[in-house]
Structure 1
Amino acid sequence: MPPAAETVLDEVDGGEGAGSSRRRPGLRSRGWLVPAVAAPLSAALFTAVLLGLATALSRTYPFGPVTRNVVDLGQQYLPYHAYWRALLLGETYGDAFLNWNSGFGSNFLGDIGTYLSSPFDLLVVAFPADRIELALYVVTAAKISAAGGAAALLLVRLRPGPWPVAAALGTAYALSGWTLNHGATVPMWLDGLLAFPLLCLVAEWARTGRRPLLGPVVVALAWIANFYTAYMATLGAAVFLVVRLLTAEEGAAARRRIAGVLRAARSVLIGIGLAAPLVVVVFLGTKVADPTPVTTFAPAAPTDFLARFLPATAGVTSPALFIGTPALALALTLPFNRAVAPRVRAGWTVAVVLVTLSLQWEPTHLLWHAGASPNGNPYRQTFVLSGLLLIAAWLSVARGVPRPAALLASGALLGALAWAAGGSVEIDDWTFPAFLAAAALTLAAALLARQDVRRRAAGADGNAAGADGNAAGADRNAADAGRNAGRAGPGLPALSALPLLSVLAVVLFVAAQAGETVVTGKRIEEQQRSEVAWSPRTGPWHVSAAREVARADAWPRHRTDPGEVPGGNDVLLVGGQGADYYSSLTAEVTSSTLTSLGFGHYAKGRHPVTLDNPVTDVLFSIGTRMRSEPMEPVRQDARPRAEVTVATTPVPPLVTVRPREARAPRPEDSAFVRQELLLGSSVYELPRDTRRTGRTLTARCPAGSEVWLWAPEYEGSARLAGEGTSAVDFDGRPPAVTAPMQALGTVPASGEVSIDLLPRKAGTKLPRQPVGCLVRARLDTAVRQLTATGATRVSAGGHSVTAELPPGSTGVAVLAAPRISGWRCAAGDAEAAPARAYQGLVAVPLDGRATTVNCFFRPPGLRLGGAVGAAALLALAATAGFHRRRQEFTRSAPADRSAGKVDG
């Protein structure tokens, strides 16, 4: 068919609507099946190959020696997946409700729903424990590849077209700048990347009245996998649905459009309801989580915003908008492509522009992020815009190469964008070379494709003239063509049957897209390693710590703390039970209680870390503690090694008995006082005459006592004056980082304490009572007293604790675990009730008659979520019944009329 005729058809129906559906092959047609299978499979495979190539070129694990554990990937996701593997294989003390390892007991169902509920995360069980980094990379690559396949499938479902181009655009979506810069190091967000094209398919099913049962199931899986990014993907799918309803069917009745919206709403509501048992638990967990400082949104500078469309740019203060110059060039042709119906051009152009502007306006920024501006990356929804841009690119190219006017307009916009972004700080040395190379290849592909269009148009005109002069010859040609078509099969021809120029054009387009993507991935990996925090790969240090923990573990008789291991969330990596815990759901009571006792933290309180202090070891029943001495500096390109030593000391049991309630802490109380209040004994000598003169602290303490410095906001080093003492580092950077209290040495015989401070910046603040001197004899007495009156036997289940107490115990039984929401306890045969708090820990009042205490943990929201889930399941069953009856009525009605005619 000549191009002019193709243009007329496209302008009549826009490639959509009733006219298009009449020509579109059915689902069972081989013509539909070829692109529907080839495009997503090719996109998924192509995505995996390019991701691996970018990883290899940056010398990053698993294709190189350099760690890829930047920021939260090493501190959060790697440890969580290690623990998830152990839990699935039955190798942990906790269960799906409670994590006994972290934060002295944490709500694990909330963490599952936040970090681990994606079906892809189950892949970790296929890898040995010492290959958890490889397992996480495979999970990440699988999610990204699946997103590419889903995007390609969405494109070929929207409009028939060349499936190799659809596969390339699907890969462009999966390996957008958002994925390479953010998603690849925050694996839970990748579930939203996959969810967006799937939810757009659900919207399309709702618009056409198809798959009423599969739609809610897809929504449920998306929200279960990661409800945070699924929320953003759902908003994006709503934009998609609105545009489709307004552009797909010209003149469609308002009733049909409203019906499509209602069907979509039904799918979303039922799907979210099915996910409610997990979503409600996570939602309520965020309500009691340690609050992060309020963040005020600041839009990115225009030049930086535009620069992020270009390759090899990275950062968190501007949106990662890169989708590849070839794909962006096609998207920019849509407003000028007269081969596409005006309503389609206008609808998608307006949608893309409005979503782009929404990234920079605070009210819509808050809408995208469910009403709360996030800490860190403020452009987490950018993957939705990437998907909309690639849909626009596909709609412009699916029916043929855009005309020269559209290509010229697109090229002019690209040039203007690059020129305007030239002064941005986001520009990398590789940005413009990669951009210009990709643009040149794209231009060559467009010229080849247009040349092929002109050649085929000329051939069609010649054939038409020949047909007028020689009908018989035309008939023979038609017959030959029919035989050839029969051999090739219906639908798109095989790639080998395409004209050579078209093949070359596709190859150049794909090469430009692939090359620019690989360069971008390589550079982003390298930039992140040089500019942000990183953790080393797991190695012999972790293996040694895990081996020693397994050998010494005595839970629940007492805890075993692995101490500091590189990477954070140490107990999830190597085992044991400690304070280390990094989660968006870290309870405020956990963070505030531990910080008040002298523990340090990162991530503005949501990452408490271990404290090597004998008093807190007693408070939390840490009987065995590991200490590690690195054998060499920790490096990005080496696996860390250390010598791990084990120290065991007597501590009270996990459940102790206090004769009475301690007084409430006062705001001015130091961490030393708060430790003593929780312990119930005075074990520190707190100097009253501590003086600071310049960079020196002086005080008096009992000879032989241990000097401890509590300086949570101090950044620098401190050392006890005298020969043979070494400096101790403090890293306080409020509000993000709080330094733990640390021991400086032993008080000399003179009782004079002199501490030299070496701050790294001026104006260092110290608390009112920074020095405490621990008298070991007092602490030993307190341990003996708590052990004598404490539980005689403690047993622990996956989310429960039972303690046997000495007869006649009165006062308060205290479980050495933070009193997070969800704990319920009972003394003796009494009915379980919400646990009380004792200085932030779980407590149960005793009346002298009970000899046992039973506590169990149930994640808040589990019952409510279960009820909502059950209601959604009933709604899904009702939908299935209604749909089945409607199908039976539709099938039986014509048969009845036909039977009547025969009988008559």
Structure 2
Amino acid sequence: MLFCLATALSRSHPFGPVTRNVVDLGQQYLPYHAYWRSFLRGETHGDAFLNWNSGFGANFLGDVGTYLSSPVDLLVVFFPADRIELALYVVTAVKITAAGAAMAALLLRLRPGPWPVAAALGTAYALSGWTFNFGSTVPMWLDGLAAFPLLCLVGEWARTGRRPVLGPLVVALAWIANFYTAYMATLGAAVVLAVRLLTAEETATVRRRLAGALRAARSVLVGVGLAAPLVAVVFLGTKTADPTPEVTFAPAAWTDVLARFLPATASTASPALFIGTPALLLALTLPFNRAVAPRVRAALTAAVVLVTLSLQWEPTHLLWHAGASPNGVPYRQAFVLCGLLLIAAWFSVAGGVPRPAALLAGGALLGGLAWAARGSVDIDRWTFPASGAAVLLALIAALLALAAARREPSGAVGGNHRDSTGTAPEAPTGDNRENSTATARQDSARTALKAPARPARLLPVLAVLLLVAAQAGEAAVTGKRIEEQQRAEVAWSPRTGPWHEAAAREVARADAWPRHRTDPGEVPGGNDVLLVGGQGADHYSSLTSETTSRTLVSLGFGAYAKGRHPVTLDNPVTDALFSVGTRMRSEPAEPVRQDAPPRATVTATTVPVPPLVTVRPSARPAGPSGDSAFARQERLLGASVYELPAPRRTGRALAAHCPAGSEVWFWAPEYRGTATLAGQRPVRFDGKPPAVSAAMGALGTVPASGEVRIALDPEGRARLPREPVGCLVRARLDTAVDRLTATGATRVRTTGHTVTAALPPGSTGVAVLAVPRISGWSCAAGDADLRPARAYEGLVAVPLDGRADTVHCSFRPPGLRLGGAVGAAALLALAATGVLHRRRSRG
């Protein structure tokens, strides 16, 4: 509810007109969930192995494991296609709710205490600054948010020798849902387990503690093994993905780190650590709370301090991120520290409100933190007012609770009862005595609550209500301000609307797969083909293959996200190369806005193109030499269709001579600015290496004089390649298309991840499938056995000897076989564990 309130206060969809689709939420997660819905309903051409829509053919199982494998993501199937934004919002809200519930359950398992306070602290965890700043816009990371408390519960079960089968299943679920953040959550759970092994049982022997640690390790190993069929595919997918530039970790200024503990702060360069000022105050009282056993205070305080320091030290930063410093947000593991802080807060308050001395000491630390953070650039105008109001409400709540404790008999809930360990005592052989002790305390508390007068019984209730109000108010303000700051400072995509619906209708009407591809063209957002259907180059994924990215960019396609987001190219040569027979073009009705769905008129144009499988006379492409995109297109096409002049550059102008009536194309991947052919309108190019490669663009038609004059208006230094201009002669292209069509496949049939093509009898040379040759493709000619496919200028190729009149290609995600073997072994280990545990229980 609080998450929804924050969304409503920021006027964001679905409670307002403004888009929530900032950065990857609009460009990756929304399109992937739209495609996931279509896939689950059987409305796609591909299957779980291969996505025919994106990147001219992409490894879908890897993307499932990266973005879509959480059980909560299945909810999208219950929403109509035009409500996919609402579906993703519900998925996000459910994940946040699950994380809060899991944390509340963990707190009550770690130490008995008042459940309303545990619920409030669980909510504080679910609605931390990390959730608002990162998790709500990267929904797959929210699975790690829920995984951390669940994995801590697995650690508790292992420590006490309980649930040896359920534990690995929970680990497997966490790693399947999102193995990236599950890895971080597993490290965090190991820290909590270490604290518990050192503090939970004062009389436990070293042998017993070691046994608990080994049981936990077994649960993790078996659980990760069960998840291996998916994890292995994702892991190997990252190895073949287009590499991003190496990042050197630079720790944030400590002033900014401290500021992020406060409300209404947002940044991608510092860790999001806000958990609510009242919860933070309770955590800061732990070192001074004499009602908690000294070793518990020392161990938990040390854990919080060490984890905080680990965020800022490069070796531990790399450990948290599995050895590679990430591009973008460098503090993705911060949710673990938020969880540790709330565990510390719970241990300090579970036995009752800390004494005034502890509250004063914690308040002094909080005041010092706020004072030290006052100069941070992350401080918002709402930060200190929201924090001050929360402190005031928390102070009143503490006074009410202390007053109630003085009026209640010893042992009542809200009092400061202390035991020797800081937790409920445990029997050496398990949790039976712990549970009975907790039950006795709760019975005692219920008895004690009957004794005081009615006003005294209301004081604890009022205290909890004020605590909840303080936490809720800060969370709502923080969520509101973070959403507003993100919309103002980072890239955004508009809401889905009439433009997308019109494109989807046109694509459905014109779709002729596999006779030829239908490209939806440019649609606002990203991953357009996942949103509206069709089969195009557009593909934005962390697993976008290096082969796909390099092949397409080398042919003149544009790309964002340092190469991991190739986009469509409206060029007749590349349309012929990739069998794009129908292309959509959109004319926007108005500029794209944050507060309104986009509208446009969408038209479809169909032209003759070669089939999906063509035959080339040789395994070595023929065509002109050179490294320009024009030369590469011609080599792949097998014909010279461009005139490639050597333009003369004079200042900010290019001059050349081309055949009259030919089409002038400008190619400069690093160029940012406009290029204008004399007498035509300016064309915008947005190159910004290494993040963005500009696509080649059409400038206009060569006049009868044959003179080509291009005016450049660069933003910054104008870096141009050696051959930036190509003049396309359409008659030559038509001849090349006719030749490839005549010698190409007479019939093409596709299934979810296979292609079968019938060829003219006696075909020799090489059959070329218009799909990037990513890892996983195997092909054969005729009845031969499948073998790893060869490459022809980056595309899938099959050698022909004149005897076969068919070719067959199949795709299997790399790592699937290895992951399946590991998963089967883990399943046997789990079964053996269950059998042994059952025998011991009976014995």
TM-score by length of structure 1 reads: 0.88
Cα 1:835–1:490 shift into 2, 3 Å: farther
Aligned to 2:473: 515
Aligned to 1:562: 520
Contact 1:172 1:513 (8 Å CA) reproduced: yes
What one-letter code is carried by the residue in structure 2 that aligns with 1:728? V
Inter-partner Cα distance in structure 2 for 1:818 and 1:509 = 57
Q: Could you tell me which of 764, 769, 772 is aligned with 1:810?
A: 764
Inter-partner Cα distance in structure 1 for 2:650 and 2:113 = 78
Inter-partner Cα distance in structure 2 for 1:541 and 1:789 = 39
Contact 1:560 1:624 (8 Å CA) reproduced: yes
Cα deviation for residue 490 of structure 1 reads: 11
Cα deviation for residue 502 of structure 1 reads: 1.5
Identity %: 79
Task: Provide Cα deviations, 1:555-576, integer angstroms capped at 9, x if missing partner.
Answer: 0000000000001100000000
Contact 2:623 2:639 (8 Å CA) reproduced: no
Cα 1:648–1:747 shift into 2, 3 Å: same
Inter-partner Cα distance in structure 2 for 1:318 and 1:665 = 52
Task: Provide Cα deviations, 1:126-149, integer angstroms capped at 9, x if missing partner.
Answer: 100110000000000000000000
What one-letter code is carried by the residue in structure 2 that aligns with 1:727? P
Cα 1:495–1:538 shift into 2, 3 Å: farther
What one-letter code is carried by the residue in structure 2 that aligns with 1:394? W
Cα 1:282–1:694 shift into 2, 3 Å: same
Q: How does 1:697-716 map to 2 (within 5 A)?
A: 697-716=654-673
Aligned to 1:542: 500
1:141 to 2:93 alignment? yes
Contact 2:47 2:752 (8 Å CA) reproduced: yes
Q: How does 1:159-178 map to 2 (within 5 A)?
A: 159-178=111-130
Inter-partner Cα distance in structure 2 for 1:847 and 1:83 = 40
What one-letter code is carried by the residue in structure 2 that aligns with 1:632? E
1:829 to 2:783 alignment? yes
Contact 2:782 2:808 (8 Å CA) reproduced: yes
Aligned to 2:652: 695
Cα deviation for residue 506 of structure 1 reads: 1.2
Q: Could you tell me which of 262, 274, 279 is aligned with 1:322?
A: 274
Q: How does 1:18-57 map to 2 (within 5 A)?
A: 49-57=1-9
1:555 counterpart SS class: coil
Inter-partner Cα distance in structure 1 for 2:223 and 2:797 = 39
Inter-partner Cα distance in structure 1 for 2:70 and 2:16 = 27
1:596 to 2:554 alignment? yes
What one-letter code is carried by the residue in structure 1 that aligns with 2:619? E
Q: How does 1:410-421 map to 2 (within 5 A)?
A: 410-421=362-373
Q: Could you tell me which of 674, 679, 682 is aligned with 2:637?
A: 679
Inter-partner Cα distance in structure 2 for 1:665 and 1:654 = 21
Q: How does 1:858-869 map to 2 (within 5 A)?
A: 858-869=812-823
Task: Provide Cα deviations, 1:829-869, integer angstroms capped at 9, x if missing partner.
Answer: 11110000000000000000000000000000111100000
Q: How does 1:475-874 map to 2 (within 5 A)?
A: 499-663=457-621, 669-688=627-646, 690-722=647-679, 725-761=680-716, 763-874=717-828
Inter-partner Cα distance in structure 1 for 2:687 and 2:793 = 25
Q: Could you tell me which of 333, 342, 367 is aligned with 2:285?
A: 333
Inter-partner Cα distance in structure 2 for 1:620 and 1:387 = 50
Inter-partner Cα distance in structure 2 for 1:494 and 1:163 = 21
Cα deviation for residue 488 of structure 1 reads: 6.8
Inter-partner Cα distance in structure 1 for 2:445 and 2:362 = 40
Inter-partner Cα distance in structure 2 for 1:717 and 1:802 = 44
Contact 2:238 2:543 (8 Å CA) reproduced: yes
Task: Provide Cα deviations, 1:78-118, integer angstroms capped at 9, x if missing partner.
Answer: 00000000000000000000000000000000000000000
Task: Provide Cα deviations, 1:773-829, integer angstroms capped at 9, x if missing partner.
Answer: 000000000000000000000000000000000000000000000000000000001
Aligned to 1:35: none
Contact 1:837 1:843 (8 Å CA) reproduced: yes
Inter-partner Cα distance in structure 2 for 1:376 and 1:669 = 32
Inter-partner Cα distance in structure 1 for 2:323 and 2:623 = 35
Cα deviation for residue 497 of structure 1 reads: 9.6
Q: Could you tell me which of 177, 202, 205 is aligned with 1:250?
A: 202
Aligned to 1:360: 312
Task: Provide Cα deviations, 1:743-770, integer angstroms capped at 9, x if missing partner.
Answer: 0000111111000111122x12111110
Cα deviation for residue 665 of structure 1 reads: 10
What one-letter code is carried by the residue in structure 1 that aligns with 2:668? A
Inter-partner Cα distance in structure 2 for 1:338 and 1:486 = 22
Inter-partner Cα distance in structure 1 for 2:151 and 2:625 = 50
Inter-partner Cα distance in structure 1 for 2:210 and 2:753 = 48
Cα 1:495–1:842 shift into 2, 3 Å: farther
Task: Provide Cα deviations, 1:24-71, integer angstroms capped at 9, x if missing partner.
Answer: xxxxxxxxxxxxxxxxxxxxxxxxx10010000100011111100000
2:136 counterpart SS class: helix
Cα deviation for residue 888 of structure 1 reads: 1.1
**Where does structure 1 lack aligned partners over 5 or more consecutive residues?**
1-48, 461-481, 890-904
Cα 1:495–1:852 shift into 2, 3 Å: farther
Inter-partner Cα distance in structure 2 for 1:56 and 1:536 = 17
Contact 2:46 2:752 (8 Å CA) reproduced: yes
Contact 2:790 2:796 (8 Å CA) reproduced: yes
1:748 counterpart SS class: coil
1:228 to 2:188 alignment? no
Residue correspondences, number: 815
Aligned to 1:881: 835
Cα deviation for residue 454 of structure 1 reads: 2.5
Inter-partner Cα distance in structure 1 for 2:603 and 2:622 = 38
Cα deviation for residue 666 of structure 1 reads: 11
1:415 counterpart SS class: helix
Task: Provide Cα deviations, 1:592-634, integer angstroms capped at 9, x if missing partner.
Answer: 0000000000000000000000000000000000000000010
Aligned to 2:52: 100
Contact 1:656 1:815 (8 Å CA) reproduced: yes
Q: Which has the larger radius of gyration?
A: 1
Aligned to 2:133: 181
Inter-partner Cα distance in structure 1 for 2:621 and 2:786 = 26
What one-letter code is carried by the residue in structure 2 that aligns with 1:771? V
Contact 1:495 1:503 (8 Å CA) reproduced: no
1:185 counterpart SS class: coil
Contact 2:780 2:787 (8 Å CA) reproduced: yes
Cα 1:395–1:794 shift into 2, 3 Å: same
Task: Provide Cα deviations, 1:248-300, integer angstroms capped at 9, x if missing partner.
Answer: 11131010011001100110000000000000000000000000000000000
Aligned to 1:478: none
Inter-partner Cα distance in structure 1 for 2:349 and 2:453 = 18
What one-letter code is carried by the residue in structure 1 that aligns with 2:797? A
Inter-partner Cα distance in structure 2 for 1:320 and 1:699 = 55
2:748 counterpart SS class: strand
What one-letter code is carried by the residue in structure 2 that aligns with 1:820? I
What one-letter code is carried by the residue in structure 2 that aligns with 1:535? S
1:407 to 2:365 alignment? no
**Where does structure 2 lack aligned partners over 5 or more consecutive residues?**
413-439
1:283 counterpart SS class: helix
Task: Provide Cα deviations, 1:521-543, integer angstroms capped at 9, x if missing partner.
Answer: 00001000000000000000000
Inter-partner Cα distance in structure 2 for 1:706 and 1:743 = 7
Cα deviation for residue 496 of structure 1 reads: 8.8
Inter-partner Cα distance in structure 1 for 2:448 and 2:552 = 69
Aligned to 1:218: 170
Inter-partner Cα distance in structure 2 for 1:545 and 1:349 = 56
Give the superposed CA RMSD: 1.9
Cα 1:408–1:666 shift into 2, 3 Å: farther
Inter-partner Cα distance in structure 1 for 2:818 and 2:411 = 69
Contact 2:61 2:230 (8 Å CA) reproduced: yes
